[in-house]
Amino acid sequence: MTDKFDAIVVGTGPAGISAAYMMAKAGVNVLVIERGEFPGSKNVIGGVLYIKTINDMLPGFWKEAPLERNVVQHSYCLMGRRDFSMISYRSTGSKETPNGFTVLRSKFDRWYAKKAEDAGATVIMKTNVTELLREGGKVVGVRTDRGDLKAEVTVVSEGANTMLCEKAGLITKPRPDQMALAVREIISLPADRIQERFGLSEGEGAAIHYIGSPFKGLVGFGFVYTNRDSVSVGLGATLSTMMKEKVRPYDLMESFKAEASVAPYIVNGLVKEYQAHMIPEGGYGGMPRLAADGVLVAGDSAMLSNPVTGEGADLAVLSGRLAGETVALAKKSGDFSARYLDIYRRTLSSSFVIRDMRKQAGLLHYIEENIDIIDRYPEAVNAALEEWFRVDGATRGEKIRRIEGIIISKRRPAKIVRDIYTFGRKLL
Amino acid sequence: MRLEEKLYLLRHVVDEKSHISVDEEKCARCDDKSCLDICPANVYSYNDRKVFIAFENCVECGSCRIACPFISWVNPLGGTGISYRFG
């Protein structure tokens, strides 16, 4: 190992490895530093890796990567207090290119890190980066618990815990409303049992997102994803609302698992692992400075996540790729200044990642300010459907009028109009 | 399933030194004690006006660091801490 590298990447998550891969391909001498025992050992994903951004880098990677199931079914479950309703989309034809796969990061990240190594990157484990080294304002390398390492440029992709960025003044410490805590369990079940329960064929997977009653008072949601021979069950909520409601995440997990819309999928399954991780939910306003002298920030560290779709890992891949490409250009021109590295910020800003984040800015804040909508709307839908399907001697016209009454009893019409307007503006 | 049973499933490489510390004076005067609720691994407990930190159970999510200004939390030494098998 040489003492001086062109570039250092902190972390072997999808952002760091994508950056390292692009750099190594372009002949940049890059070192990747991971604090865990192996790539992925500290990482947790909700479930689905949308493949577009990584497939653009490594076409056809999904044929050889250790992926769990090809997600062909996406559902939303609206949970009431004593009922639930579901809306599902299912793809039945075979698609040339799949959309997303469930993954387990302890397998996937190892595979992906090997790709960067094969391309020429050096990857070291069990080394914790404690701070960025600076000379005259410029980042010139990293301090680790095994010594200092110098480089022209450092890519910080340390995950949602942005301690390096905070120390370097690239971001102020996120507030509790800018971070969500997610907990998850891996519940093992035989593959054919999973296929029967979810109505899937071999290799096919399902993703269910849950909203409603169990998350009353919380900017929160739940999920169920199918892996090859396990099911991932979990939930997440912003820390600020969890603190306000004094909710203990593991208690909420147990009550979520007992819900009638969740329990049948996991009954008789064996819990193999319990996990917790933060999800950056600071949105556009919570992002750090993406490029400064000698340093770039990518992935969760850059607060890239989409609360609407649940994307995170694929955004990390794109940001890592763009950071890697920028470093390759910087090396060619011999310029690692903030001004030059700003290419990264500009290309990322014109991508769908930042365009969505800019559009959605303030969405979660609006939900927290109008926290009733978390349980009231799902309850309204369930009550309306219950009314519609119940045969009780009322005419259909009377049913419609009753349903109008139900909806209005859950939320005032003026507020409904404002909700629709706000959500429309933030999403369209 | 109880939390203790879930934590028992996890693989940790334990360092002797804690990577978490608290400002005990501030803790004694803290009304919220969010750490007791928010921590998914129940690392924090409060007894006899003193906070106990079971740092070896920490899963390194960092939530306590965001939730509380009196907790000082750093990554554990490289190669130690939580090691997920199905992350």
Residue B87 lies in a domain: no
What is the residue type of A334? Answer: G
Q: What is the pLDDT of residues A293-336, one digit of tens each?
A: 999 999 999 999 999 888 999 999 999 999 999 999 999 999 99
- Whether residue B37 and residue A243 make contact (CB cut-off 8 A), yes or no, is yes
Q: What is the pLDDT of residues A53-76, one digit of tens each?
A: 999 999 999 999 999 999 999 999
Q: What is the pLDDT of residues A189-217, one digit of tens each?
A: 999 999 999 999 999 999 999 999 999 99
Distances (CA, A) of A295 to A2, A6, A18, A209, A230: 20, 12, 16, 36, 39
Strands (E), A227-283: 230-238, 270-280
Q: Same CATH fold, A177-280 and A4-68+104-174+286-349?
A: no
Which residues lie closer than 8 Å to A370 by C-beta, 6 or more apart?
A415, A419
Neighbours of A272 (CB within 10 A): 14
Domain around B48: 3-82
Domains of chain A, residue spans: 4-68+104-174+286-349, 177-280, 364-427
pLDDT score recorded for residue A294: 98
Q: Show the low-confidence residues of chain B (pLDDT under 50).
A: none
Which of B37, B41, B66 lies at the smallest CB-CB distance from A174? B66
- Whether residue B62 and residue A278 make contact (CB cut-off 8 A), yes or no, is yes
Q: How far is B7 from chain A (nearest CA, A)?
A: 7
Give me the number of domains chain B comprises.
1
Fold (topology level) of A4-68+104-174+286-349: FAD/NAD(P)-binding domain (3.50.50)
Given the DSSP bridges, would you call strands A30-33 and A48-50 parallel, antiparallel or unpaired? unpaired
CATH no., domain A177-280: 3.30.9.90
CA angle A187, A48, A226 (to 5 degrees): 30
Task: Please tell me whether residue A293 adopts helix, strand or coil conformation.
Answer: coil
pTM of the model: 0.96
Q: How far is A275 from chain B (nearest CA, A)?
A: 7
Interface-testing mutation among A12, A277, A303, with chain B (most B C-beta atoms within 10 A)? A277
| CA-closest candidate to residue B63, choices B28, B31, B84, B37 | B37
Residue B48 lies in a domain: yes
* HEC profile of B27-71: HHHCCCCHHHHHCCCCCEEEECCEEEECHHHCCCCCHHHHHCCCE
The ipTM value here is: 0.97
Q: For chains A and B, what is the number of CB pairs under 8 angstroms?
A: 128
pLDDT at residue A93 tops 80: no
- Whether residue A275 and residue B67 make contact (CB cut-off 8 A), yes or no, is no
CA distance B64 to B21: 11
Q: What is the pLDDT of residues A345-384, one digit of tens each?
A: 999 999 999 999 999 999 999 999 999 999 999 999 999 9
pLDDT score recorded for residue A3: 64
CA distance B47 to A341: 51
Chain A residues near residue B68 by CB distance under 8 angstroms: none
Residue in A with minimal Cα distance to B72: A163
CATH of the domain at B41: 3.30.70.20
